[in-house]
Amino acid sequence: MSQLSNEKKIHVIVHGNRQIFEKVKSLLVENKANPENITMASLEKAGQIGEYVAMIWPPMNAKEIIVSEIAGTEAKGKGMGAWESIDQKELFRIPL
């Protein structure tokens, strides 16, 4: 498992399943993430290059959290609002 920088934001994507946010946050903290930098992702504004994304997967009946680093802003067509323009590099997965 990769070590997360405690100084970077982690944007959590829960695909509308807001009730699972606190569980995801707890698991990220167990994996050495700074709780102060964990935030719910917004469809209106994506994160910055170098920040992290933690996304539950699959969207319905999630089984894991995919943790990625934002690598660029050129990807298109993922259907996630502002996030569709973000290219991500997967770092590791955490079972739910």
Low-confidence ranges of the chain (pLDDT < 70): 1-2, 75-80
Upper half-sphere CA count for residue 56 (Cβ side, 13 Å): 22
pTM value is: 0.89
Mean pLDDT of the chain: 89
Strands (E), the chain: 10-13, 38-40, 52-57, 64-72, 87-95
Domain boundaries, the chain: 10-95
Phi-psi region of 77 (alpha: psi -120 to 50; beta: other; left: phi over 0): left
Nearest CA among 49, 95, 40, 91 for reference residue 67: 91
Give 9-25 pLDDT, tens digit per residue. 999 999 989 999 999 99
